[in-house]
Structure 1
Amino acid sequence: MGIGATAGVAAAGGIALGAQAADGSSGGSSGASGSLVFDPDAYTKLTKTITDADGADHSVTYHFWKAITYVANPVDETYQSLIVSAPVEIDGSTVDPANAPILLANSIGGYLPASVADATEVGGGGSAMGGGAAPSGAPGSTTSAAPNANGNTNATGGATSSNQLLALAAGYVVIEPGARGRTLKNSAGEYYGTAPAAIVDLKAAVRYIKANKGVIPGDVERIVSAGTSAGGALSTLLGASGDSPLYVKYLKELGAADASDAVFAVGAWCPITDLEHADGAYEWNWGTNALATGKQVDQSVSKDLKGQFAEYQAGLRLRGLAGFGPLTARNYDDYLVEQYLQPSATAYLAALSDSDRETYLASNTFITWSGGKATFTWADFLTHVGARKKDTPAFDAFDLSAGENNEFGAGTTASRHFTAYGAKNDSTGLSSRRVAADIPAKLNLMNPMYHLVEKVNDRRSKHWWIRLGTNDSDTSHVISANLAARLDNLGDDVDHLYYWDQGHGANTDPGDFITWIAEVTGYRKGKKRS
């Protein structure tokens, strides 16, 4: 990871949100409310040592723009702002970032608010609760640890910023947007960051970037959105819903720039998405696994939800990758094992030394290792993973305790049901056992599958990098696999794999992601795209 960031002399121009320039003087606004014009001179010059994926150190000098408000009528500038980092010198050689890809890395986790208002260098964004996600054990937490925008989780609770740093060292421009989140309340007790606030904010950030084409550094037609967990879901949604008219009224209310909000490519790690069908998918996947306490979940509820999943899956009419054929609830276990899990275990084992592989196989006898390939059954895989993370229902909790219930809160109501099954079985004493009238429309605004299945969006991203840990029981393996299958069926470029024995928020191949960006964008450092 990078070390040794040092501030240079602030360039002409000021810093947004009332921050001070590097020399301690008070600057004017580089992105004040009402102005959507990027000030190219309002940067601070910084130098940072960044360690690449191969372990080599690089000295990177870059221009850094502190928090810039990206809408003319912000609800809360603390969250509706972005930071920009553009490399100008790498290992002593001058680089021109004008035509470089832009990595748009959000730090949203748990659908919580994320702010870059106080960021003083690249990788400085985070959620209101820190690290870009709800900490483990926090009320309404949807994550096992604290992954950031890059899909990286430090087991001790600290998060790294490898995607941003690696992108900067590769000569890319890095833009990190803040966004409102589900826990924000005003003085009247009204929630102003629940659905669809976060996706509207991200779209507004993209519009700001594109409206400043030729002034803001980077190729605005080669924006690659990246995020993890809820941030991965929002990154996916941003890619799937580019320029959808469904969001126009919300963007107009904020005074967003009059520009496109479509992005070129998407990086999504363990996306927590397709929420209205997530309970069924979760039970199909983890229904027989007990909780960490050893307690078995309510199997009648689990059975109901599995049935809902089977119906939903049949209606999608998806075909699996590599010529697998129709994907149904009956054959999805075989598909996951053949397409993702066995290849993941094979890659992991093949990379080990002979002695380490022998030790691993001795401790995991469910795996048969023959001819350089790993084979096992779905049932044995579930036993290997062990405890499931969430009770049932996993997302629309009967007692409204899930973070996703809060994501669909409205007005002064903190949490609401967003599925008919959750509402029908409410345990909080609600007088109505039906979802509110506005919920269906909000679900469409928050679900990328809506834009890929029901209202296929031709302005969507066409390049997709999707990753999930095999031990991640924060969500169902079906969620990202369905997403990948649908994108593949539409003819998009999809790079999807699972990390063996990794949990929620894992990113074990960040260097490959940076290389992938160059490949799909056609970028060669210092040269214009043909």
Structure 2
Amino acid sequence: MKRVIALVLIVVMVMLFSVGCGGTTEESEKKPQPVTNLSKPDLTKWHYNKEFDLYYQTGIGYCEKPADEQYEKLAVFVPGAYMDASDNGDGTYTCKVSESAELNGYSAATAPIMMPVETPGYASAKALNDEILMTHQGILEQLSDYTSQGFVFVLSGCRGTNEGAPTGVTDLKAAIRYIRYADDVIAGDAESIFVYGMSGGGAQATILGASGDSELYTPYLEAIGAVQGVSDAVQGVMAWCPVTNLDTANAEYEWMMGCTRPKRTDELNAISDKLAHAYADYVNSAGFTDENGKPLTLTESEEGIYQAGSYYDHVKGVIETSLNHYLTDTKFTNITAQDYINSLNTDKNWVIYDKTTNTATITSVADFAKHCKTASELPVAFDGLWGKNTLFGSSEGELSHFDRILADVLTEMNSEYAADFAADLAKANFVGHTVETRVNLYSPLFYLMKSREGYGTSNIAKYWRIRSGIEQKTNSLTTEINLTLALKSCDKVDNVDFETVWAQDHTEAERSGNSTENYISWVNTCTKG
């Protein structure tokens, strides 16, 4: 009898151990199921474009309680090869996903899903519908660059600046959740979603990549009736000139580019200088490290404000690498490389060129900024003293300041603007989030840096490609540098491909070739190994 009891205990312990360690019991294998009343795409309502061989549906609602239906819908475009279709005789087709067809090495089950974020300045994006497609045939031609390569293409509308953060990213997350919910009827690998964009679109793509499944977005997603029980994380991010890091953007701008702006009133000059000092304080507490794990910090300097230290050297090195890539890539014809360097040095010798190695160095970051990256804005370019913005208003159309660093500077100076900033920063929206919390929701580094509260609370994209024009006046170069440093120090990220391109501005900057083709090639590298 004792032997029987012992055997029973052993069996029970084995069963408990199996379940506790994620064993093979039916209960442990169950995945969370999507919770929604939304319908999946109607398989009898596909449209077909013969010229580009793709099937599509537009006007698909991705949330149950849309705040604005002109934005909160998506469109899906699928390569013709992935569909077994029958003509309904009324201009529509009944389709089911083919299990055997392949295109460019992908099948309907493995094809990556491309999702552009077309929101310049964090603006809203109206949802695509059949009427727009009929009057703008160029849309199909553009997206066929992707479907012809075997990708599934999803174009989502979203709210934007006027409705306030985080509505834009919330809507895009809801669209991603819907795609996963409808994975069984839409071709493509719902675990291989790549988002991409330029400027404000690039910024929101980076937020999506950094904030996957963040619980801070839960009340916003619930408010619009987004699908529950599925992930909103993405696999990869492509960002050209992302206007991001808004929590530190003013300070970054003044540290790098404030020296290029004509001197103004004593108060504005003092604000600029104090923001530059505040940026040094931020860098020295942020925890940036180089590829060897060495801390990157700023130290005081005889000239300029904190223009020395390992972080400064890193920034200077990024600039020199960009210039040397340009010298290597460019086929000089009417002029020589030395002639080009001479043109840079017209009013000051700030570039030192070695003709034998065809390489160059610069005298300082400040000299580079003065010659190639002059400030285009008044001090406090991203959150002005006089004008406010709608992006962080606590209700639709409301204006609000958002910069905590600037607010602290103004308080220290006993400025007449300090009270206005303090009042705005304390405002709460309908879920009880203050402006500062909502700025965090829109700051990738909040999730990427170990020094920030959001670290470890999200599922971060594995693959990142970042490109910027080094001469853009919109951002400080530190925007892309800091994003790259944060990503490279994050153990959840497999690959970070960053370059800033010499002699290019705020554009889809590439050292060579076409931005779309380069992006497609990169995605293929990520997905095919």
TM-score category of the 2 structures, normalised to the smaller one:
0.7 to 0.9
The separation in 1 between residues aligned to 2:380 and 2:118, in whole angstroms, is 26
The residue aligned with 1:201 is: 171
The residue aligned with 1:337 is: 316
- Asked if 2 retains the 8 angstrom alpha-carbon contact of 1:116 and 1:124, the reply is no
* 1:385 alignment partner AA: C
Structure 2, unmatched stretches of 5+, are 1-35, 83-100, 299-305, 428-433
- TM-superposed CA distance for 1:412, in Å, is 6.0
The residue aligned with 2:444 is: 448
The separation in 2 between residues aligned to 1:416 and 1:361, in whole angstroms, is 45
The separation in 1 between residues aligned to 2:277 and 2:69, in whole angstroms, is 44
- Asked if 1 retains the 8 angstrom alpha-carbon contact of 2:115 and 2:194, the reply is yes
Helix, strand or coil at the partner of 2:58: strand
Deviations 1:372-430 (A, max 9, x none): 323223233112215312211111111134xxx21011236621111243475565994
- Asked if 1 retains the 8 angstrom alpha-carbon contact of 2:246 and 2:443, the reply is yes
- TM-superposed CA distance for 1:473, in Å, is 1.8
The residue aligned with 2:13 is: none
Distance 1:87 1:442, change over 3 A: same
- TM-superposed CA distance for 1:324, in Å, is 6.4
The residue aligned with 1:485 is: 485
- TM-superposed CA distance for 1:354, in Å, is 3.6
Alignment of 1:420-459 (within 5 A): 420=404, 421-422=406-407, 424=411, 425=415, 427=417, 430=420, 435-437=425-427, 438-453=434-449, 454=452, 455-457=454-456, 459=459
- Asked if 2 retains the 8 angstrom alpha-carbon contact of 1:123 and 1:165, the reply is no
The residue aligned with 2:67 is: 75
Helix, strand or coil at the partner of 1:236: helix
The residue aligned with 1:17 is: none
- Asked if 2 retains the 8 angstrom alpha-carbon contact of 1:109 and 1:231, the reply is yes
Helix, strand or coil at the partner of 1:266: strand
The residue aligned with 1:511 is: 517
The residue aligned with 1:131 is: none
- Asked if 1 retains the 8 angstrom alpha-carbon contact of 2:115 and 2:193, the reply is yes
Helix, strand or coil at the partner of 2:341: helix
Helix, strand or coil at the partner of 1:318: coil
Distance 1:46 1:325, change over 3 A: same
Of 412, 415, 424, which aligns to 2:399?
Answer: 415
Distance 1:44 1:412, change over 3 A: closer
The residue aligned with 1:360 is: 340
Distance 1:173 1:327, change over 3 A: farther
The residue aligned with 2:31 is: none
The separation in 1 between residues aligned to 2:133 and 2:466, in whole angstroms, is 23
Identical-pair percentage: 28
The residue aligned with 1:42 is: 45
With structure 2 as the length reference, what TM-score do the two structures score?
0.74
The residue aligned with 1:103 is: 114
The separation in 2 between residues aligned to 1:231 and 1:480, in whole angstroms, is 14
1:222 aligns with 2:222: no
Select the structure of larger CA radius of gyration: 2
- Asked if 1 retains the 8 angstrom alpha-carbon contact of 2:120 and 2:201, the reply is yes
- Asked if 1 retains the 8 angstrom alpha-carbon contact of 2:250 and 2:381, the reply is yes
- Asked if 2 retains the 8 angstrom alpha-carbon contact of 1:242 and 1:459, the reply is yes
The residue aligned with 1:521 is: 527
With structure 1 as the length reference, what TM-score do the two structures score?
0.74
Helix, strand or coil at the partner of 1:348: helix
Of 238, 243, 252, which aligns to 1:267?
Answer: 238
Helix, strand or coil at the partner of 2:261: coil
- TM-superposed CA distance for 1:495, in Å, is 0.5
- Asked if 1 retains the 8 angstrom alpha-carbon contact of 2:252 and 2:476, the reply is yes
The residue aligned with 2:366 is: 379
- TM-superposed CA distance for 1:506, in Å, is 2.5
Distance 1:316 1:101, change over 3 A: same
The separation in 2 between residues aligned to 1:181 and 1:400, in whole angstroms, is 19
- TM-superposed CA distance for 1:70, in Å, is 1.0
- Asked if 1 retains the 8 angstrom alpha-carbon contact of 2:289 and 2:296, the reply is yes
* 2:110 alignment partner AA: N
The residue aligned with 1:28 is: none
- Pick which of 302-311 and 367-376 moved more: 367-376
The residue aligned with 2:157 is: 178
The separation in 1 between residues aligned to 2:522 and 2:256, in whole angstroms, is 30
- TM-superposed CA distance for 1:116, in Å, is 2.6
Deviations 1:71-90 (A, max 9, x none): 11101111111122222259
Distance 1:416 1:123, change over 3 A: farther
- TM-superposed CA distance for 1:439, in Å, is 1.3
The separation in 2 between residues aligned to 1:430 and 1:487, in whole angstroms, is 35
Helix, strand or coil at the partner of 1:84: strand
Alignment of 1:92-241 (within 5 A): 95=103, 96-118=107-129, 164-183=143-162, 193-241=163-211
* 2:435 alignment partner AA: I
- Pick which of 102-111 and 409-418 moved more: 409-418
* 1:223 alignment partner AA: I
Deviations 1:57-101 (A, max 9, x none): xxx4211222322111101111111122222259xx973544211
- Asked if 2 retains the 8 angstrom alpha-carbon contact of 1:103 and 1:164, the reply is no
Helix, strand or coil at the partner of 2:69: coil
The separation in 2 between residues aligned to 1:517 and 1:124, in whole angstroms, is 31
How large is the RMSD of aligned CA atoms in angstroms?
Answer: 3.1
- Asked if 2 retains the 8 angstrom alpha-carbon contact of 1:168 and 1:174, the reply is yes
- Asked if 2 retains the 8 angstrom alpha-carbon contact of 1:110 and 1:230, the reply is yes
- TM-superposed CA distance for 1:357, in Å, is 5.6
* 1:498 alignment partner AA: T
Distance 1:364 1:163, change over 3 A: farther
Distance 1:117 1:161, change over 3 A: closer
The separation in 2 between residues aligned to 1:63 and 1:180, in whole angstroms, is 26
Helix, strand or coil at the partner of 1:461: coil
The residue aligned with 1:9 is: none
- Asked if 2 retains the 8 angstrom alpha-carbon contact of 1:488 and 1:494, the reply is yes
* 1:239 alignment partner AA: G
Structure with greater helix share of residues: 2
Structure 1, unmatched stretches of 5+, are 1-32, 49-59, 126-158, 184-192, 524-530
The separation in 1 between residues aligned to 2:109 and 2:132, in whole angstroms, is 20
The separation in 1 between residues aligned to 2:373 and 2:219, in whole angstroms, is 46
* 2:369 alignment partner AA: L
The separation in 1 between residues aligned to 2:284 and 2:144, in whole angstroms, is 42
